[in-house]
């Protein structure tokens, strides 16, 4: 350095003096400003890289999508009977409770139908009472007829036997009468020559002749009695045959008569049940004239007014529930690898500045949205372009009653769900159905 200064013509001493003077003004040489800026830039770059690495690492903990909305069951209120509207109790966008009366139909015709059905039921019950009472009466009557016919058979059989004995007695009397007649004939034959010789008196002879005539008359009477007794036997046997036929008929027809009455009773009982069913249907039809809210919610699309004539199935209004809600999120198929049921989900609602709700993954849809569309794709019919598909995923709210106490959520609101794919499962998650 001294040689260079000497060559430049500057005195050595002066240079030294100058150098000493400079050292006195700046004892330490300051680094150039460009070096500080370089360190700051490097530090900022490192911070950005670390921040990017952190946010990338943190993004692997969740899967989210903005293709999601609040969903719910929309209840279509319709008429179940025809009739004339006499009252409408609600308007559009009105909040209603479950069971609240919405529309009333003129019930006059249905009340008349109920009264008619109840009258038919009373008539059927009376017929059933009569038919059921006839069953034991018929059973008793049949039993009595069988017993009586059996007694008649026994009585007729005894009568036949008695008549046969009377025939035998009559035949014996015929023999006796014939013997007496023969004796009287013998007496007359003996007395004839004697009366001619005046051995005996005419009076004694006449007595013998009269006795012969009486004996012959007794024979005729006895023979007539035999015929009468024989006729009595025939009549008794005829009555016995008739009694036996009646007894057989009673035994044979008795169970059938009982079954007929039992069938009539069963038919009357069935008629009672049919009448009861008509009464219940009439009561239901009458109750359908008062249309009530099936659930709590908000009325929309009301298209019924007083004076309208309704038909069965006609839509009257839609009730949108505010409690039975869930989220349908359409995730890309590439996001489903680490998803499973019961994973915790944070739901951000766009309409309320990102207000958060807690939930859990309930189930993954059975097919992609394109397959469930009206015209599903047919890749084999043309040029194929691979497109990432989306699958609907249902997310249920964990504690909707407390988090949505002001009923802010509405079906159709856009949300952004974030599924914790690396975190713990949501507490109190119901076990998935098998």
How far is it, in rounded angstroms, from Cα 321 to Cα 294? 10
Beta-carbon contacts of residue 223 (< 8 Å; ≥ 6 apart): 174
pLDDT-derived band at 4 (thresholds 50, 70, 90) equals: very low
Level-2 CATH architecture, domain 109-275: Orthogonal Bundle (1.10)
Could you identify the residue written with the tokens 């659930």?
295
Predicted local distance difference test score (pLDDT) of residue 29: 57
Compute the average pLDDT of residues 98-108.
Answer: 95
CA 19 to chain centre: 112
**208 has a pLDDT exceeding 90:** no
3-state secondary structure of 407: coil
How far is it, in rounded angstroms, from Cα 107 to Cα 289? 6
Compute the average pLDDT of residues 369-378.
Answer: 80
**215 has a pLDDT exceeding 70:** yes
**198 has a pLDDT exceeding 90:** no
**431 has a pLDDT exceeding 80:** no
**217 has a pLDDT exceeding 50:** yes
Predicted local distance difference test score (pLDDT) of residue 113: 95
pTM: 0.60
Beta-carbon contacts of residue 132 (< 8 Å; ≥ 6 apart): 265, 268, 269
pLDDT-derived band at 394 (thresholds 50, 70, 90) equals: very high
pLDDT digits (tens, 9 = 90+) for 141-183: 777 777 777 777 778 777 878 877 887 887 888 888 788 878 8
How far is it, in rounded angstroms, from Cα 293 to Cα 319? 8
Are the CB atoms for 64 and 418 separated by under 8 Å? yes
Level-2 CATH architecture, domain 62-91+306-420: Beta Barrel (2.40)
At 391, phi and psi to the nearest 5?
-120, 130
**Residue 388 burial (CB count, 10 A):** 9
pLDDT-derived band at 16 (thresholds 50, 70, 90) equals: very low
In terms of C-beta density within 10 A (0-12 exposed, 13-18 middle, 19 or more buried), how is residue 373 classed? Answer: exposed
**18 has a pLDDT exceeding 60:** no
Predicted local distance difference test score (pLDDT) of residue 34: 65
| Percentage of residues in the chain having pLDDT higher than 90 | 36
pLDDT-derived band at 42 (thresholds 50, 70, 90) equals: confident
How far is it, in rounded angstroms, from Cα 22 to Cα 239? 172
Top pLDDT among 273 and 139 is at 273
- Closest listed residue to residue 192, CA positions, set 209, 169, 178, 175: 209
Long-range contacts of the stretch 271-278 (C-beta < 8 A, 24+) = 271/124, 271/127, 271/128, 272/121, 272/124, 272/125, 272/128, 274/124, 275/117, 275/120, 275/121, 275/123, 275/124, 275/125, 276/121, 278/117, 278/120, 278/121
Predicted local distance difference test score (pLDDT) of residue 329: 94
In terms of C-beta density within 10 A (0-12 exposed, 13-18 middle, 19 or more buried), how is residue 354 classed? Answer: exposed
Compute the average pLDDT of residues 380-401.
Answer: 85
Compute the average pLDDT of residues 398-411.
Answer: 88
Beta-carbon contacts of residue 138 (< 8 Å; ≥ 6 apart): 257, 258, 260, 261
Predicted local distance difference test score (pLDDT) of residue 2: 38
Domain ranges of the chain: 62-91+306-420, 109-275
| Percentage of residues in the chain having pLDDT higher than 70 | 89
- Closest listed residue to residue 295, CA positions, set 77, 89, 88, 80: 77
**231 has a pLDDT exceeding 60:** yes
Predicted local distance difference test score (pLDDT) of residue 229: 78
Top pLDDT among 196 and 17 is at 196
Mean pLDDT, rounded, of the chain: 82
């Amino acid at each position: 350095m001294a040689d260079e200064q000497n060559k430049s013509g500057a005195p050595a001493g002066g240079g030294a003096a100058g150098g000493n003077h400079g050292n006195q003004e700046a004892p330490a040489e300051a680094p150039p400003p460009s070096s500080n800026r370089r360190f700051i830039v490097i530090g900022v770059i490192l911070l950005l890289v670390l921040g990017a690495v952190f946010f990338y690492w943190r993004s692997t903990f969740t899967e989210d999508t903005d293709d999601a909305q609040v969903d719910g069951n929309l209840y279509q209120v319709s008429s179940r009977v025809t009739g004339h509207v006499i009252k409408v109790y609600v308007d559009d966008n009105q909040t209603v409770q479950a069971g609240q009366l919405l529309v009333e139909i003129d019930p006059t015709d249905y009340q008349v139908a109920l009264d008619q059905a109840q009258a038919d039921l009373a008539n059927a019950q009376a017929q059933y009472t009569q038919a059921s009472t006839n069953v034991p009466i018929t059973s008793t009557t049949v039993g009595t007829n069988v017993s009586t016919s059996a007694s008649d058979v026994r009585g007729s059989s005894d009568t036949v036997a008695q008549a046969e004995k009377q025939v035998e007695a009559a035949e014996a009397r015929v023999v006796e009468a014939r013997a007496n007649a023969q004796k009287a004939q013998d007496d007359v034959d003996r007395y004839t020559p004697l009366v001619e010789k005046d051995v005996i008196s005419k009076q004694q002879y006449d007595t013998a002749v009269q006795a012969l005539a009486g004996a012959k008359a007794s024979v005729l009477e006895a023979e007539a009695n035999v015929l009468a007794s024989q006729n009595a036997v025939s009549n008794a046997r005829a009555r016995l045959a008739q009694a036996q036929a009646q007894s057989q008929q009673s035994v044979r027809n008795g169970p059938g008569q009982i079954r007929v009455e039992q069938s009539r009773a069963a038919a009357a009982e069935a008629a009672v049940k049919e009448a009861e069913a008509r009464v219940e249907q009439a009561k239901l039809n009458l109750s359908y004239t008062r249309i009530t809210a099936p659930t709590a919610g908000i009325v929309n699309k009301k298209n019924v007014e007083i004076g309208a004539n309704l038909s069965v199935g006609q839509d009257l209004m839609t009730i949108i529930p505010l409690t039975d809600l869930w989220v349908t999120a359409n995730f890309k198929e590439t996001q489903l690898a680490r998803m499973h049921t019961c994973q915790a989900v944070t739901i951000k609602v766009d309409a309320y500045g990102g207000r958060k709700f807690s939930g859990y993954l309930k189930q993954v849809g059975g097919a992609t949205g394109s397959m469930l569309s009206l015209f599903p794709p047919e890749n084999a019919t043309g040029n194929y372009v691979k497109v990432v598909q989306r699958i609907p995923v249902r997310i249920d709210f964990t504690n909707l009653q407390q988090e949505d106490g002001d009923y802010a959520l509405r079906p159709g609101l856009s949300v952004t769900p974030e599924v914790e794919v690396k975190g713990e499962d949501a507490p109190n998650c119901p076990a998935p159905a098998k």
